[in-house]
A and B are shown apart, each in its own frame.
Chain A
Amino acid sequence: MNKTHDLSQDVLSRIRTESLRPIPKWRFVFRNVLLWGLGGFIVLTGGVAFAVILHIVQNNDWDLYRAMGQSLPAFVVLTLPYLWVVVFVSMITLAHVHVRHTKGGYRYRLPVLLGVVLAASLALGGMFARAGIGQAFDEAASGRFPVYRALVSHRETRWLRPTEGFLSGTVTSINPEAMRFALEDPQGNAWEVSYDRNTRRHPPFFEIRPSVRVRIVGQARNQGRFHAEQVAPWFLRDRPIPAFLRDLVGQGKKDPR
């Protein structure tokens, strides 16, 4: 090894001549707060994405897909919310990369880190779904963005084919004696829907009442008339929208329940 000279004096002299000072602590604290804020945002977005996936999957037409003439695998492939799955997977990946770059994040192995990030997002997403946040985001996006309706929320389109026997809308009034109810579809058209004792309800105790949104399988008859063979609620698991998100959904929603 060659002989080296004392670097300490060189370093000290450079610090003095260039008037160098340690970067203030607040800048590192600020950077860490920003990093944790970004991390929180990523996990939160992942949670929302999972909540929307849960909402869409739970409220998919599992009870009536056979009436649409589809097999279960084909129905699953056609109705999976791919956009939200991509958002969710992207957020998990981002969160993993993010934690890896925090102080000490490098100490954990990939499966452990991914497991923790995934568990946090799933738990948060589950809570968000129960709180109605998944439904709120899906409805707001569906009401505001036609592209979203076309790409993700095809459900409405699926249930607006009266000539093919599929109709949805909000019940505006009901006449149980005449076994008829009035309905307004998402495009604002008024329908008079008849039913009889053979009309199946999903679930069997489902009660048709005003302001409830329903899906109907049946037959279109004369102008504005429809006969119901099967009736089901629009949402299999309808969650009350949290108060702080009502404005967001209200502005975007075309079809208030």
Chain B
Amino acid sequence: MDAGREDPTESLSDEILVEKSLISQVFFAQLVCRYQQKLLRYIQKISSVPLQEAEDLLQEAFIKAYLHLNDFDPQLSFSSWMYRITRNHVISHHRKRVLRPEAHAADMDDDAWEHLASHLDPRKDADDAQLREAVGRVFDHMEERYREVLVLKFLEEKDYKEISDILQKPMGTVATFISRAKKQFQTKARDLGIDFDL
């Protein structure tokens, strides 16, 4: 896409772009543009893969989504559907490599950090870099299922309905997971010597 010229597809909703992508792949490229940064960050938050591998994984996830466009459920948002495909692809990739996905929360970008920091109430004097590093370590020590709901809730800023659609779990279960995840976060943080409230 040319940076200087306004792209007419930018004003179209995701759902319209999905419909148009079935006719021309160019519209699908617009969807890729919209979501690649968010999803790349998401992959890096839920896995330990380097950037190049994350990009390869995301490219595969987009190709999968393109092939399954006719299976897109309009009751879901495209965003939830794409997050779900990406998550499932990352999990299946890790299963093939017999590796447990590890978070690299310390690598989180400024927006994500600011959002998470607004929910954190550190009870110890610590500077921003120390806190980021501590949060990253806490995330690395958490159970995968709890870490991923915290990532979606506090870093990706998804609501319960979106998290339910991405993880394919009932909303009540998501609420339970978030509550347990917060408790586990506090316990692990305490173990690491930092007192957070999340």
Is the pair A7, B36 in contact by a Cβ cutoff of 8 Å? yes
Once bound together, how far apart are the Cα atoms of A12 and B30, in whole Å? Answer: 10
Sort chain B's interface into a size bin.
Answer: 35 or more
Instruction: Specify which chain B residues have a CB less than 8 angstroms from the CB of A10 in the assembled complex.
Output: 59
Tell me if A108 is interfacial: C-beta within 8 Å of chain B.
yes
Tell me if B15 is interfacial: C-beta within 8 Å of chain A.
no
Tell me if B68 is interfacial: C-beta within 8 Å of chain A.
yes
Is the pair B63, A4 in contact by a Cβ cutoff of 8 Å? no
Interface residues of A in 16-41 (CB under 8 A from B): 16, 20-25, 27-28
Once bound together, how far apart are the Cα atoms of A70 and B143, in whole Å? Answer: 55
Is the pair B63, A15 in contact by a Cβ cutoff of 8 Å? yes
Q: Interface segment, A85-93, A99-107, A166-174?
A: A99-107
Is the pair A7, B170 in contact by a Cβ cutoff of 8 Å? no
Interface residues of A in 194-212 (CB under 8 A from B): none
Contact check: which of B33, B109, B164 meets A107 at CB < 8 Å? B164
Instruction: Specify which chain A residues have a CB less than 8 angstroms from the CB of B28 in the assembled complex.
Output: 11-12, 15
Contact check: which of B30, B41, B66, B170 meets A108 at CB < 8 Å? B170
Instruction: Specify which chain A residues have a CB less than 8 angstroms from the CB of B171 in the assembled complex.
Output: 107
Is the pair A22, B168 in contact by a Cβ cutoff of 8 Å? no
Instruction: Specify which chain B residues have a CB less than 8 angstroms from the CB of A4 in the assembled complex.
Output: 36-37, 40, 51, 55
Once bound together, how far apart are the Cα atoms of A23 and B71, in whole Å? Answer: 8
Once bound together, how far apart are the Cα atoms of A20 and B22, in whole Å? Answer: 11
Is the pair A12, B25 in contact by a Cβ cutoff of 8 Å? yes
Is the pair A20, B66 in contact by a Cβ cutoff of 8 Å? yes
Once bound together, how far apart are the Cα atoms of A172 and B133, in whole Å? Answer: 91
Is the pair B63, A14 in contact by a Cβ cutoff of 8 Å? yes
Q: Chain A 97-124 against B: per-residue CB contact (8 Å), 1 yes, 0 no?
A: 0000001101111000000000000000
Contact check: which of A1, A8, A20 meets B36 at CB < 8 Å? A8
Tell me if A6 is interfacial: C-beta within 8 Å of chain B.
yes
Once bound together, how far apart are the Cα atoms of A39 and B33, in whole Å? Answer: 39
- Known contacts A6-B33, A8-B33, A14-B59; decide if A109 and B75 are in contact (CB<8 Å): no
Once bound together, how far apart are the Cα atoms of A1 and B62, in whole Å? Answer: 21
Instruction: Specify which chain A residues have a CB less than 8 angstroms from the CB of B58 in the assembled complex.
Output: 7
Task: List 7 other contacts, CB 8 Å, given A7-B62, A22-B22.
Answer: A7-B32, A10-B59, A12-B25, A22-B70, A23-B68, A107-B171, A109-B173
**Which B residues fall within an 8 A CB radius of A?**
1, 21-22, 25-26, 28-30, 32-33, 36-37, 40-41, 51, 55, 58-59, 62-63, 66-71, 73, 75, 107, 109, 164, 168-173
